[in-house]
Chains A and B, each alone.
Chain A
């Protein structure tokens, strides 16, 4: 096993472990904090692909902005009561069976693979010569301009929704 493989193995295993920690913590604040660690690990995976811009964005936006928002919401909701009740516990066995079954079938599938998947258009070599930021900028504003613009509509709808669902009732 080479050194990069060793590093990848570490991140792969710890991402799985961390995701389990996120969903199993009784205290939601702890769950969110584990998610923070999880996101940092995912950012490292981007570094393996030479996508340093994506890694930075992952940390700044997900770990920085979105998780802080999560924490705010969790703390506002006063979940102390929920913690003591066992209302979400019954679904555990169902989830375990579903996830376990999926994991088993996925392992069987992965073992049987003979044809190796195609690499995408943007290989590590291409990233190294052109640079991650350059490629993303080019692709986003040429080939994927239309999806990019539709994303803006989705955000607009989210804003309208936030206003509609929270504004004071008109008299």
Chain B
């Protein structure tokens, strides 16, 4: 009986795996590659619907062997992953045709990566956490290098692979130390053993905490561990970049939150002290280096580093409410970032990368709708009301002020003002420069749907912020 229950609890993931496998087979049977995207999206919708039904029938709170939890926390992050995956697939259709990427493998790797993220968010055992992370990472390494003829894509895949493997080693070292101390890999058992054996003060616990932060820091590209991000984001195919900057980052935050709060909850003071300078450094490095970028993918890479810093503030505070604001921020960042990358993807056409800032000169004259969308996303990334980006930053800063981290908020707000320069520079190019030549967009219906969804969500969350925030709060506490 418990086996059946386990199967039901993990059925959303199983359905996704099934979808990925059938896409691999369908690739041989179907000539029109657009069909694959539709089939994939259908599978994802079914999986998401099953997940929704499971929540509705009250399966929340169930676990499989204490390793895999079906709880509100995981479900909130799963919503981020599902949305990222769907938007990425919608934005990829045209890009795959232009770059001649084999669609079946591409979509199934995207789905496998998402399954890995879902396992990470749901993992309550370090073993599961590690395996989910590897499943996610391995798929993204391949996706980064899927344009085999492109040297930059090769470089991105190799760099990502080596540094990812390096960070996995840190994670494993941390897990080993904790296992050696407590004799368990289960998060709850570790926490109780640390408490009952008074190991929380042990230097080895501190050491493993540092290893965990290092490993997760690599995944979410925190400042001293961010070196891979710009090159990888620039070299990878743009839809993959969009996917990487939203999904795996949120997954990294998901495991970081769970490990820090559930296992090292008693060491909150210590990890706040470690993370606080990292947050400031991350925001500073991301915002300052982005100023000098002329390649828009690189600029968005540094922007994504800076945003990881803002989201980290919610963890630095160390309160549950603080982490709720981080979850809120991650959802908002995902939507606006996917939107911004969506416009970048549309500028790509055969033999033209459309990645340079100059390519945006005078875009508003030729394509007013695309420019208006980019305008909204850039405003949102800067954090200007009434967009969602403002709400995300506002709640994080508010929680930080409540917790007494006022100077942290001042620094973050200052860098947020600095970031306005490079975001609004794109807007300036679009609206105030004369077009250099003829600009044609690779528009498609699917990309249109994705962008429309993103822009609507950015504005809706911006105007009705409590919808998302209450959802995040209920997921975390409920």
Contact = CB atoms under 8 A, between A and B. Distances in A.
A147 B181 contact: no
Nearest to A166: B148
A113 interface: yes
B198 interface: yes
Contact of A113 (B105, B184, B202): B202
B65 A165 contact: no
Interface residues of B, number: 46
Interface in A75-127: 105-106, 108-109, 112-113, 115, 117-121
A169 B150 CA distance: 13
B311 interface: no
B184 to A, nearest CB: 8
A151 B131 contact: yes
B203 interface: yes
A6 interface: no
A143 B68 CA distance: 12
A150 interface: yes
B205 to A, nearest CB: 10
A103 to B, nearest CB: 12
Interface stretch (A7-15, A20-28, A61-69, A152-160): A152-160
B351 interface: no
Interface in B93-130: 100, 102, 105, 108-109, 112, 115, 119, 125, 127-128
A160 B203 contact: no
B102 A164 contact: yes
A146 B185 CA distance: 14
A154 B134 contact: yes
A145 B157 CA distance: 31
A109 B206 CA distance: 10
B203 A109 contact: yes
B142 A165 contact: yes
B183 A144 contact: no
Residue with the highest number of chain B CB atoms closer than 10 Å, among A120, A164, A170: A164
B417 interface: no
B24 interface: yes
B180 interface: yes
A146 B138 contact: no
B67 A147 contact: yes
Contact of A154 (B10, B100, B108, B131): B131
Interface string A128-171: 00000000000000011111001101101110110111010110
Nearest to B181: A117
Given A109-B204, A163-B105, A169-B148, A158 B127 contact: no
B108 A160 contact: yes
Contacts of B132: 150
B182 A164 contact: no
B207 A106 contact: yes
B395 to A, nearest CB: 34
A118 B135 contact: no
B197 interface: yes
Contacts, number: 93
B58 interface: no
A103 B64 CA distance: 39
A146 B197 contact: no
A157 B24 CA distance: 11
A120 B64 contact: no
B131 A147 contact: yes
B354 to A, nearest CB: 23
Given A113-B204, A146-B64, A158-B138, A118 B181 contact: yes
A151 B141 CA distance: 17
Given A146-B65, A154-B134, A164-B146, A118 B102 contact: no
Contacts of A106: 207
B437 interface: no
Contacts of A112: 203
Interface in B220-240: none
Contacts of B179: 120
B135 A153 contact: yes
B186 to A, nearest CB: 10
Contacts of A143: 65
B145 interface: yes
Interface string B49-67: 0000000000000001101
Contacts of A158: 138
Nearest to A167: B102
A48 B109 CA distance: 41
Interface in B169-228: 179-184, 193, 197-199, 202-204, 207
Interface of A: 105-106, 108-109, 112-113, 115, 117-121, 143-147, 150-151, 153-154, 156-158, 160-161, 163-165, 167, 169-170
27 contacts: A105-B207, A108-B203, A109-B204, A112-B203, A118-B197, A119-B183, A143-B65, A144-B127, A145-B65, A147-B125, A150-B119, A150-B131, A150-B135, A153-B17, A154-B135, A157-B112, A157-B135, A157-B139, A160-B108, A160-B109, A161-B138, A164-B102, A164-B109, A164-B146, A165-B157, A167-B102, A170-B102
Closest 8 CB pairs of A and B: A118-B183, A161-B142, A109-B203, A120-B183, A150-B131, A164-B105, A117-B181, A157-B138
